[in-house]
Structure 1
Amino acid sequence: MAIEINQPQAPAQKNETGKPARRNLNMEIRFGAPGISLNQRMVFTERLSLLLETGVSLLEALKTMQLQTEEPLLAEIIGSLASIISEGKTFSSALATHPEMFSSTYISLVAAAEEGGFLPQVLAQLLRMDEKNSQLRSSIVSALSYPAFLIVFSIAVVVFVLVVIFPKFDSLFASIHDQLPITTILLMALSAFVRNYWLLILLGLAAGAWATYSWISSKAGKLVLDRLRMSLPVIRDIYIQIYLSQTLSVLGLSLSNGVPITVALKACQGVVDNSIFSKFLDNIRTHVNEGRGIAVGFTESAIIPPMVRQMVATGEQTGNLGMVMTRVAEFYERELSKRITVLSKAVEPVMLIVMGVVVGLIVVSLILPIFKLSRAVH
């Protein structure tokens, strides 16, 4: 299983400078611009929050950070932010000029914090949200690394046997070709094909990889993948938990800090990379604009678990929607980490069995003809 990190095609939003704003993805290791990582944004947010809490002005804090930042690209971005603020513009409008680093969620929350006068507190909350995303991604990568290693190792073993081991028995097997098992004959043919046409095979794999990437990057390909993610039994549950944890985390943090719900829902669509789930968010925005409330959209959606529907409805009725969504998001983050760990542990023995069968088949295909030849000689 792979966690898709490509952003679906969508109409480009525009920031305050009039330039198209690229969407930011919580599941990505890096943002849109080369060299800008989630860890760097976390460091930026943490240092800025600390400086503001100690009483340093925003402009002075940014100038100090620019001088202390060793990464040239990040220092350039911080310098740009300081320059815009020195012109009398707001911090949120400055952040909007760098959508490759700051998501719409980040910008909306900062804008609300500027109006309410609690910027250091919101920066601390944004830092915690990024840390949770980083921990979730780390758990996914950790859980999938061993199965991925087994797959690569299995392929390497098979290629080694076909290219190095089988050719040593060509002359021996040729003398008893009519007595060879069908598996040995097939493996000999495959070995000869790999050795004679290895360049064409590599070119074919490269062309296939490029064609697959191009298709996945297309609007039609992404739509097919989005539907598959939301329909395959086990994969569907995992992706729904990922999307819910992302969406509810953003909504909970936004609503708790006074961001209008329509703005928060729009920000969520820049976080979730699935057109089917984005349509669900569109439906919620429609319900909210019609005055029906956010719980209606959750209740009417077939992809939302019953527990979430009930919790959102209760939160809206009691006026604690932000807190409830944050709690549910934290629950799904824990459940997702557990589920991926369990799934990876379940996949490992299956992979080992497959490896054993493949290697065993190759070994038997080598040893059985030699054993028959030995018996014939005696």
Structure 2
Amino acid sequence: MPRFRYEAVTNTGTSVTNTEEADSRADLVAKLKVRGYWPTMIEQSEASTDDSKKNASSSSIDSNTSNPVITAGTLRSQLAQLTVQKVKPAEVEFFTYQMATLVNSHIPLVRSLDITLSQINNVQLQRIIEQIKYDVEHGSTLADALSQHPKQFSDLYVSMIRAGEASGVLGEVMSRLAEFAERQRNLTNEVISALFYPLILMIMSVSAIAVLMVFVVPKFTAMFETMGGNALPGATQVLISIADFTSSYWWAVLGGGVISILLGRQFSKTADGELFFDRLKLRLPIFGNVFSNFAIVRFTRTMATLLENGVVLVPALNVAKDTVGNRIYSDAITKASEQIEGGSTLAHELDGSGVFPDMVVHMISIGEESGSPEQMLGKLSDYYDVEVRKTLERVTGSLGPLVILVMGLVIGFIAVAMILPIFEASSMIGG
């Protein structure tokens, strides 16, 4: 078993140097983390006898051939350099938690970045952290270094870090950031999960009906034609017409659907299209309330977090407008920000927008009068967070059966329309 030499920092900030056997570097890191150690350097100091023999054999082969021996480690390293990994939000969240723990333990910033770097597996994020560490070592603030990577660290993230550095509570701010990101991610996942189940039911329903119309109904058509078109019930004639059109022009229906989706996506990327679809989402009969409350949760939670950490109102609004995820709300926030610079209040401008509910306006007004709007915004975010979850429970509880009911009615109509002529023919023969 290989032996590794490591340097680590404990939770109290004490440096530790030692050697230990482990199956791999990752195994050693896991063992050290259980003890509360944060490794800053790990190097293999001694190989096992078997490994030494393998290395000796590899050296012998290497000396007798012109082709170099490629070890597994070298191959992994080369593949990692060729592969550009995406940085997931959960990985940025992990980075934030790690940094918060270390900074709160009074470990210097550069050392904290170095320790956190050793815990990251994503190659792309490793390179980003290395660049951030380099910038900080050469005189940059952490906020300025993070701002060079906007795809991974949002304006909200950078603004809070900047406020934390200015007020001397960077560790506390990073803890709040990590908590904020986790709550936002959990809520977003719940919304997606709630919408996913009804969507799957709808797709299955449409697929089942399409199979019936294209493959099943046409088999009955020839038999129905022998009865005479005029003798068929009206429902059966309608069904046959739809089935004939679907089976003859399925390619046009499918192609038209695909083209419509592609054109819709392109239109949604334009300013007018984005505004149209965001307005449409808020007007949906079942999900409109979910989208509206979700935007309010994001706005109030972002504002509360920024104001609590010392960010001024107008810059906080400029950051928050990009987090709500809906143009109707972001445009209202932008207009409010412009008017506040002229001396107006947040509650007055949100009330005039006609977008935010009276409860939001009244509580923000109370917060402004008492000098603590961040507290009221925090309470609002908690309230609407609960409302979103309750609405999602109601939606998932009612929409699923509703889709099944509609599917049953449609399939029932198809079944009746196909069976009715047979019954009529049987009654005529019997008569």
Q: Residue 300 of structure 1 aligns with which residue?
A: 352
Distance in 1, matches of 2:298 and 2:153, equals: 16
The partner residue of 1:157 within 170, 188, 208 is: 208
Distance in 1, matches of 2:131 and 2:393, equals: 42
Identity %: 27
Q: Residue 81 of structure 2 aligns with which residue?
A: none
Q: 1:111 to 1:190 in 2, by over 3 A?
A: same
Q: Residue 191 of structure 2 aligns with which residue?
A: 140
Partner secondary structure for residue 159 of structure 1: helix
Distance in 2, matches of 1:201 and 1:257, equals: 55
Greater alpha carbon shift after TM alignment, 85-94 vs 235-244: 235-244
TM-score, structure 1 normalization: 0.84
Shift of 1:158: 0.6
Question: Within the alignment, does 1:100 sit opposite 2:151 as a pair?
Answer: yes
Shift of 1:284: 2.5
Q: Residue 7 of structure 1 aligns with which residue?
A: none
The answer to whether the 8 A contact 2:322-2:330 is kept is no
Q: Residue 202 of structure 1 aligns with which residue?
A: 254
Q: 1:169 to 1:227 in 2, by over 3 A?
A: closer
The answer to whether the 8 A contact 2:314-2:340 is kept is yes
Shift of 1:333: 0.8
Partner secondary structure for residue 358 of structure 1: helix
Shift of 1:230: 4.8
Q: What does the per-residue CA deviation read over 1:147-182, in whole Å, with 9 as the maximum and x for residues that have no partner?
A: 212211111111121223223323322211322223
Residue 164 of structure 1 aligns with an amino acid whose one-letter code is F
Q: What does the per-residue CA deviation read over 1:5-30, in whole Å, with 9 as the maximum and x for residues that have no partner?
A: xxxxxxxxxxxxxxxxxxxxxxxxxx
Greater alpha carbon shift after TM alignment, 295-304 vs 206-215: 295-304
Partner secondary structure for residue 88 of structure 1: coil
The answer to whether the 8 A contact 2:85-2:122 is kept is no
Distance in 1, matches of 2:383 and 2:351, equals: 19
Q: Residue 333 of structure 1 aligns with which residue?
A: 385
Q: Residue 273 of structure 2 aligns with which residue?
A: 221
Distance in 2, matches of 1:194 and 1:88, equals: 68
Q: Which has the higher contact order (CA 8 A, sep 6+)?
A: 1
Distance in 1, matches of 2:144 and 2:421, equals: 75
Gaps of 5+ in 1: 1-32
Question: Within the alignment, does 1:57 sit opposite 2:138 as a pair?
Answer: no
Shift of 1:250: 1.1
Shift of 1:78: 1.9
Shift of 1:265: 0.8
State the number of aligned residues: 346
More strand by share: 2
Residue 71 of structure 1 aligns with an amino acid whose one-letter code is N
Residue 182 of structure 2 aligns with an amino acid whose one-letter code is E
Q: Residue 120 of structure 1 aligns with which residue?
A: 171
Q: Residue 15 of structure 1 aligns with which residue?
A: none
Q: What does the per-residue CA deviation read over 1:111-165, in whole Å, with 9 as the maximum and x for residues that have no partner?
A: 0101112111111111111121122112212322332122111111111212232
TM-score, structure 2 normalization: 0.74
Distance in 1, matches of 2:138 and 2:345, equals: 40
Residue 78 of structure 1 aligns with an amino acid whose one-letter code is I
Residue 60 of structure 1 aligns with an amino acid whose one-letter code is R
Distance in 1, matches of 2:139 and 2:426, equals: 90
Question: Within the alignment, does 1:274 sit opposite 2:326 as a pair?
Answer: yes
Q: Residue 10 of structure 2 aligns with which residue?
A: none
Distance in 2, matches of 1:338 and 1:372, equals: 51
Q: 1:198 to 1:287 in 2, by over 3 A?
A: closer
The partner residue of 2:240 within 185, 188, 206 is: 188
Distance in 1, matches of 2:99 and 2:220, equals: 67
Q: Residue 29 of structure 1 aligns with which residue?
A: none
Shift of 1:269: 1.6
Greater alpha carbon shift after TM alignment, 146-155 vs 74-83: 74-83
Q: Give the structure with higher Rg (CA).
A: 2
Q: 1:152 to 1:336 in 2, by over 3 A?
A: same
The partner residue of 1:45 within 96, 101, 118 is: 96
Q: 1:161 to 1:236 in 2, by over 3 A?
A: closer
The answer to whether the 8 A contact 1:51-1:61 is kept is yes
Q: 1:183 to 1:74 in 2, by over 3 A?
A: farther
Shift of 1:257: 0.9
Shift of 1:231: 5.1
Shift of 1:77: 2.1
Q: What CA RMSD, in Å, does the superposition of the two structures yield over aligned residues?
A: 2.3
Q: Residue 16 of structure 1 aligns with which residue?
A: none
Q: What does the per-residue CA deviation read over 1:76-121, in whole Å, with 9 as the maximum and x for residues that have no partner?
A: 2222222222222111111111111211111100001011121111
Shift of 1:375: 3.1
Question: Within the alignment, does 1:314 sit opposite 2:353 as a pair?
Answer: no
Shift of 1:329: 0.9
The answer to whether the 8 A contact 2:146-2:153 is kept is yes
The answer to whether the 8 A contact 1:49-1:121 is kept is yes
